[in-house]
Each structure stands twice: as C-alpha cells, then as structure tokens.
C-alpha cells in the first residue's frame, strides 16, 4: 500500500513539474510575441506620423505657383501607395514578404520626400517660410523616431527568435506553432555611402 502511494506522489510531482515547465515556456513565448507585436505597432505609428505630415507639407509647397508639380505628384502618389490596405502588416504574421512590401512602400515615400526637399533648395522664399521650416523639423524628428522604433522592433524580434530557437524551447515552440519572425533589413546598397557632389 505504501509503495503505491509513493508512486502516486512521484507521478503527481512529475505532472506538476511538467505543467510548470510547459506553462512557463508557453507564457514566456506569448510575452515575447506580444512585445514584438507592440514594437511593430510603434514602427507603424511613426510611419503613420510621417504620412500625416505630408498633406500639410504638400499644401505649404503648393502655395508657390512655380513649384514643380511633378515632384508634388510623386509625393502624393507615394503616400497613397503606402496607405493601401494590402500594405498594412498583420502583427501576428510578421514574415519577410509582408515586411518587405511595407518597407518598399515606405521607401517610395522616403525617396519622394527626398526629391521634394532637394527641389526646395531652389526656392529660397519657400525655405524661409516658417510653416515649411516647422514641417521640415517635424519630418526630421519623425525620421529619427522611425529609426529608433525600427531598432527596437529588431531587438524584440531577436529576443523572440532567439528564445523560440533554443533547446528545449524549440520543442515547445513547434508544439504551440510559434514561428520565427522577420527583421526590418537595410535597403540593398545602404552599406555604401552616397556620393555627395557640390557643384
């Protein structure tokens, strides 16, 4: 009789240990997954802030009748492209393809804004406009915030990916369908410094 009770107690202890291990590993994966989703939301938030500044920038520039309309059109089209529903990324599916599509649309916006700001150099009155200067400062601040949030996102993805790939976590991750998430990656050619030519 005593032996059967000892066996039952040992089995119960093992069940509690296994339960605690499963629960701890699963909850940690959920926590890291949620952190990744939250940092992704902050990335989107900063990109949205930049998109929200564009209409004011365009309206300020439109006031200058001789300003190149093609440059403004490119900015407006890039903004419209970046706000299409299919560009939005579902935080539960942060795969490489979705992030690359999102990044490509945002790169178009960055490129169009860069061309706009370069073109403005030829308009000293516009550069001196107080509203334009304030918008430019806000855009610069937003670009810095975007870089910061992208780094935070990549850090949270690294922590998540690392955790689910370590043994025995990888076994639990496979059982509960926790999959590796993609990083934001630098554009191709970003490692090369741009050529600056003042002529």
Is residue 180 situated within a structural domain?
Answer: no
Please state, in angstroms and rounded to a whole number, the distance separating the CA atoms of residues 77 and 105: 10
Is residue 41 situated within a structural domain?
Answer: yes
Beta strands in 2-139 (DSSP E): none
pLDDT 10s digits, 122-173 = 888 887 888 888 888 999 999 999 999 999 999 999 999 999 999 989 998 9
Contact 139, 106 (CB under 8 A): no
> Percent of the chain having pLDDT more than 70?
90
Is residue 57 situated within a structural domain?
Answer: yes
Q: Which two tokens stand for residue 74?
A: 């490119």
Give the structural domain span for 36. Answer: 22-175
Please state, in angstroms and rounded to a whole number, the distance separating the CA atoms of residues 16 and 106: 49
- How many domains does the structure of the chain reveal? 1
Is residue 194 situated within a structural domain?
Answer: no
The pTM of the full predicted model, rounded to 2 decimals, is 0.80
Contact 26, 173 (CB under 8 A): no
Is residue 9 situated within a structural domain?
Answer: no
Is residue 4 situated within a structural domain?
Answer: no
Residues in the chain: 199
CATH number of the domain residue 115 falls in: 1.20.1440.20
Q: What are phi and psi of 90, to 5 degrees?
A: -75, 120
Is residue 196 situated within a structural domain?
Answer: no
105 Cβ neighbours under 8 A, 6+ residues apart: 78, 81, 82, 84, 87
Q: CA angle, corner 134, sides to 132 and 136, nearest 5?
A: 70
Please state, in angstroms and rounded to a whole number, the distance separating the CA atoms of residues 173 and 26: 8
Is residue 85 situated within a structural domain?
Answer: yes
pLDDT 10s digits, 12-65 = 888 888 888 888 899 999 999 999 999 999 999 999 999 999 998 888 887 775
pLDDT 10s digits, 86-124 = 888 888 888 888 999 999 999 999 999 988 888 888 888
Please state, in angstroms and rounded to a whole number, the distance separating the CA atoms of residues 135 and 133: 5
């Amino acid at each position: 009789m005593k032996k059967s009770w000892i066996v039952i107690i040992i089995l119960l202890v093992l069940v509690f240990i296994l339960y605690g291990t499963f629960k701890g590993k699963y909850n940690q994966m959920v926590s890291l997954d949620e952190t990744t989703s939250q940092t992704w939301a902050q990335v989107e938030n900063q990109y949205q802030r930049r998109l929200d500044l564009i209409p004011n920038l365009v309206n300020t520039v439109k006031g200058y009748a001789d300003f190149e309309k093609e440059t403004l059109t490119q900015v407006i089209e890039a903004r419209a492209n970046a706000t299409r529903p299919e560009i939005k990324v579902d935080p539960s599916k942060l795969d490489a393809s979705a992030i690359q599509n999102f990044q490509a649309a945002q790169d178009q916006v960055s490129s169009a804004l860069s061309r706009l700001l370069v073109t403005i150099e030829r308009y000293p009155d516009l550069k001196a406009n107080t509203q334009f200067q304030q918008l430019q400062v806000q855009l610069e601040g937003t670009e810095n915030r975007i870089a910061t949030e992208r780094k935070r996102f990549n850090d949270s993805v690294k922590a998540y990916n690392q955790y689910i790939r370590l043994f025995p976590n990888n076994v639990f991750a496979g059982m509960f369908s926790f999959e590796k998430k993609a990083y934001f990656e630098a554009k191709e050619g970003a490692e090369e410094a741009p050529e600056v030519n003042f002529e």
